[in-house]
Homo-oligomer: A and B are copies of this chain.
Amino acid sequence: MTRSAGTTLRLNMPQWQGGNDPGYHFGSQLLQWLAPAPGGPVETVPVPLPEPGETLAVENGVVARAALLEQARAARRAIEKHKPDRIITLGGDCLVDLAPMAYLNLRYAGKLGVLWVDAHPDVMSPKDYAHAHAHVLGALLGKGDADFSREVERPIAPSRVMYAGLDAWMPVEAAVIDGLGLRHAGSASLADSSKPVMDWIAEEGITHVAVHFDLDVLDPARFRPLLFNKPALPPGAFEGVPRGRMTLEQVVRLLGDVAASCDVVGLAIAEHMPWDTLELRDALARLPLLAPR
């Protein structure tokens, strides 16, 4: 599909408080370095790193609620400054997509299609889990915590949402998925074919789609820079939390097929956790000759 002209905003958002791990901040910086050079305006949402020894507080059921809301509003202000036709968001934790998707659904008159490429449904509520990176799609659908849903003037229509790479979920998530009738395609059905997603696009008549690409959809045994590969994890950590099973190559193919049939107006990359690279950076800064004096 030929893309129409217009402005593409590059939004750098090193938010880490939504997953309560500063590694997401570094992950965003590295993504910015890795990504092809921007072809339009660039905005970077200010996100402070923790002070030494600082820990985040749970605020009415959500870790760092006030900081997260302020960052979502700062992202929205940055977007409104340019009123772009398309947004590339480089996160940061999954919550980075709150302002971009909320804006894009207004921009495309409530008809935005949302392809959520993720091993997790991100529709939990504060009563289920205190980390808001697991709440973001719920907020975009107008569900969940009122503070976050309020940032979404026009909720995404459930029929315009599809999950890709989602193989398992928890009962509290099933209630939302089944209650709203959200479509989903597991990793096996997308291993060699994009058909489940192409069917959704055709059946719903989607012309403009925003993609949320949580790197956690990738198999952590094959792709290391993911939360699940945190070094020195105690046994049983993340027990019961589904792992992704896709490959980067499969995601590239899927998104290429999507782009061939409709206009991709949003792309967020989230949850990049480059443990080895972070460890190397910190080690280099402590070596003779390299250590800052």
Chain B residues near A235 (CB-CB < 8 A): none
Which of B39, B231, B281 makes the CB contact (< 8 A) with A34?
B281
**Residue of A255, A264, A277 ringed by the most chain B CB atoms within 10 A:** A277
Which of B34, B211, B292 makes the CB contact (< 8 A) with A284?
B34
14 contacts between A and B (CB under 8 A): A36-B285, A36-B292, A39-B292, A224-B224, A225-B280, A248-B283, A249-B283, A255-B287, A256-B286, A267-B287, A267-B290, A269-B284, A272-B280, A276-B276
B231 touches A36 (CB 8 A): no
Interchain CA distance A99-B202 in the complex, whole Å: 61
Nearest 8 pairs of A and B residues by beta carbon: A259-B288, A264-B288, A34-B281, A248-B283, A267-B289, A224-B224, A224-B276, A252-B286
Which of B35, B225, B280, B291 makes the CB contact (< 8 A) with A290?
B35
Question: Dominant SS at the A interface?
Answer: mixed
A251 touches B283 (CB 8 A): yes
A212 is an interface residue with CB less than 8 A from chain B: no
A108 is an interface residue with CB less than 8 A from chain B: no
A255 touches B288 (CB 8 A): yes
Interface size on A, residues (CB 8 A): 48
A127 is an interface residue with CB less than 8 A from chain B: no
A 7-28 to B, binary, CB cutoff 8 A, 1 in contact else 0: 0100000000000000000000
The interface of chain A, by Cβ under 8 A from chain B, is 8, 30-31, 33-37, 39, 86, 88, 211, 213, 222-225, 231, 248-249, 251-252, 255-256, 258-259, 264, 266-267, 269, 272, 274, 276-277, 279-281, 283-293
Chain B residues near A288 (CB-CB < 8 A): 211, 255-256, 258-259, 264, 267
Interchain CA distance A45-B181 in the complex, whole Å: 58
Chain B residues near A266 (CB-CB < 8 A): 289
Which of B211, B223, B256, B290 makes the CB contact (< 8 A) with A36?
B290
Chain B residues near A86 (CB-CB < 8 A): 289
Which of B224, B264, B279, B285 makes the CB contact (< 8 A) with A289?
B264
Which of B252, B267, B280 makes the CB contact (< 8 A) with A283?
B252
A277 touches B8 (CB 8 A): no
Interchain CA distance A266-B261 in the complex, whole Å: 56
Interchain CA distance A274-B290 in the complex, whole Å: 20
A248 touches B280 (CB 8 A): yes
A33 touches B35 (CB 8 A): no
Chain B residues near A211 (CB-CB < 8 A): 288
